[in-house]
Structure 1
Amino acid sequence: MRITLTGATGFLGQRLVQRLSADGHSLQLLTRKPLTGLPAQVESFLWDPPRVEAPAEALQDSDAIIHLAGAPVNQRWTEEAKRVLRSSRIDTTRSLVHSLSTMARRPQVLLSASAIGFYGERGDEILREDSSAGSGFLASLCEDWEKQAGLARSLGMRVRCLRTGIVLGKEGGALPSLLPAFRFGLGGKLGSGEQWMSWIHIEDWITAVLHLLDPSLTTSGPVNLTTPNPVRNADFTATLGRVLHRPALLSVPVFALRLLLGEMSSVLVASQRVLPDASLEFRYPALEPALRALLQ
């Protein structure tokens, strides 16, 4: 396939480029800065959204768009940071869809990033793709983000919004930031530890994206990219400690998280018990084997 990809320099984007190019796909990367050292079947095009339209040559003859661009959520949410988070997702997606609307031949499918933050704080409620949006900044951000991507359906494209959970990988995501404290025996639960964590191994996330690219599929709409076995935060931290042969007896109170991270701390203690799309298959459906595969 000929695939156009945004967000190629992020944790998920880099791993996806490696896999897609290794599988022989032709890639067209939309990036803010020039990239060098790319494989022969990978081209890079400069794009500074939303001020600049996506270059037509980066979209031309593309079979699929994978849209992962967006500023990092893991930062203190000042008013300026919130503006950047929204613009880098909503305005950028609007710009991309507008560029697609000007083309005579359009890609068949748009896979657009989203997150399980769409659901907000939901306690023990089981969450599937037809569950309603939650409340709060991140939920509102994800809802508006998905609406912009969904406009591509009016162009005759199949649109899947990737509601991604906590991605476990060695090169990025949540895991590397946790490891130093746990390796020094200073790890532990956040708040009460009762909140549900919905996670996915990086290899399973990539496999799911490849599955969703299949041109024979016809389904549109959101898709939960999480394993079928969410765990409570206390169980996650205990399992990580066991894999590292370190105690995980400490706890971080909610007020300390709020002092350190402000409003963004709500993401760390929100409970989201998300179940995946039934069509997905997993190599690492359970937490402990997934962590052992990554860390041992």
Structure 2
Amino acid sequence: MHIVIAGASGLIGTHLSATLREAGHDVTTLVRREPTSAAEIRWDPAARRLDPAALAGADAVVNLSGAGIGDRPWTRRRIDELMTSRLAATGTLTAAMATLDDPPRTFISQSASGYYGDSGSAQLRENASPGSGVLSRICVEWEAAAHRAPAGVRVVTPRTGVVLSPAGGALGRLLPLLRLGVGGPLGHGRQYWPWITLPDVAAAFMFLADSGLHGPVNVCAPESADVNALVGALASALHRPAFFRVPSPALRLVLGQLADELILPSQRMEPAALEAAGFQWQHPSLAQAAAWVAGKH
């Protein structure tokens, strides 16, 4: 397949690009800088600029573009940037598709587990209602923008959980502390985090590009875990203690609204659509995932 990826420079995009190429697919990436190879095409989503020819002949377009959710404090200006960067990128892609006589067959546009807000211990399949927080609102509008793709384009909106990787990602700040034996659970630790390893995220996106699935798809592992279990499994795999719990008030003091939107909410997601379609995980259990993150491949 010929696949165009927007937002390929991040953790997921970098690994997905490599995985697709290793599988024999032709990958083109959209970049904001001057291209350095024939496999790169420049675009400017903030200015809504993209030559539609960049998408001509593509079998699938994967949209991972958007400002980083957790890399800066959530000021009002930053929240606006999180929303506008996603809507601008998605709108630029769908507008370019609309000008083509033969648009790509598939549009995979990233969403997030944050769609569900703070849902406690309720099992969340793809038909569950959205939450009420800022991140929920961003995801709702992000998904709606993707569905403005031209008629005939199969639209998939993967609601991706916490990505586990030894290289960082969602654990970028916690993992080094766990390796030193000075890490621990965040908040009370009973909140569910829908987790998935980086290789399984890439495999899931590749699966979605060639499957018949459409609409929202929960992208997480089949084994659910709360933060206590997740941090405990990682610490055990690293042969380190995990005694140093960070209480919720401290998280709110340091991170502000970001703590209540990203770290303390509970989302017990179930990958119902992926399971029904026959997707196979490389790391379906938390023990397998923790061992992989710890380097015990």
Q: 1:272 aligns with which of 267, 272, 276?
A: 267
Contact 1:188 1:249 in 2 (8 A): yes
Indicate the residue corresponding to 1:239 in structure 2: 233
- The amino acid of 1:112's aligned partner reads S
The equivalent of 1:133 in structure 2 is 130
Distance 2:179 2:55 in 1: 45
Which amino acid is the alignment partner of residue 257 of structure 2? E
In structure 2, the residue matched to 1:21 is 21
Please name the residue that 1:287 is paired with. 286
Matched residue, 1:189: 185
* TM-score of the pair, normalised by structure 2: 0.94
Contact preservation (8 Å) 1:198, 1:231: yes
Partner Cα separation in structure 2 for residue 89 and residue 163 of structure 1 = 14
Q: What's the CA shift for 1:156?
A: 1.1
Cα separation, 1, equivalents of 2:81 and 2:282: 36
Q: CA deviation at 1:79?
A: 1.1
1:225 to 219, 225, 229: 219
Counterpart of 1:168, as a letter, is: L
1:16-46 per-residue CA deviation (whole Å, 9 max, x = no partner) reads: 111111222112211111353x5xxx61111
- Structure 2 distance, partners of 1:10, 1:127, is 27
The answer to whether 1:175 aligns with 2:171 is yes
The number of residue pairs the alignment matches comes to 289
C-alpha distance in structure 1 between counterparts of 2:124 and 2:94, whole Å: 28
Secondary structure at the counterpart of residue 250 of structure 1:
coil
Residue 272 of structure 1 deviates from its aligned partner by 0.4
The ranges of structure 1 where at least 4 consecutive aligned residues each deviate by more than 6 angstroms after the TM superposition are none
Instruction: Measure how far apart 1:219 and its partner are.
Output: 3.0
Matched, 1:88 2:85: yes
Report deviation, 1:181: 1.2
For 1:138, give the aligned amino acid.
L
Amino acid at match of 2:280: E
Q: Secondary structure at the match of 1:231?
A: coil
- Equivalence for 1:249: 243
**1:101 lines up with 2:98 in the alignment:** yes
SS in structure 2 of the partner of residue 203 of structure 1 = helix
What pairs up with 1:15-164 in 2 under 5 angstroms? 15-36=15-36, 43-74=39-70, 75-152=72-149, 154-164=150-160
1:171 positional shift: 2.4
After superposition, where does 1:203-222 map in structure 2 within 5 Å? 203-214=199-210, 217-222=211-216
Distance in 1, Cα, partners of 2:153 & 2:184: 45
Q: Is the Cα–Cα contact under 8 Å of residues 53 and 96 in structure 1 kept in the other structure?
A: no
Deviation at 1:273, TM superposition (A): 0.2
Q: Aligned partners of 2:52 and 2:243: how far apart in 1?
A: 55
Counterpart of 2:205, as a letter, is V
Structure 2 unmatched runs, 5+: none
Residue 105 of structure 1 aligns to which amino acid in structure 2? D
Which amino acid counterpart does residue 283 of structure 1 have in structure 2?
Q
Q: Which secondary structure state, in structure 1, belongs to the residue aligned with residue 47 of structure 2?
A: coil
1:188 partner SS: coil
**Normalising to structure 1: TM-score of the pair?**
0.94
- Once structures 1 and 2 are overlaid, which stretch shifts more, 175-184 or 97-106? 175-184
* 1:176, distance to aligned residue in structure 2 (A): 3.2
- CA drift of 1:162 comes to 0.8
Indicate the RMSD between aligned Cα atoms, in angstroms: 1.3
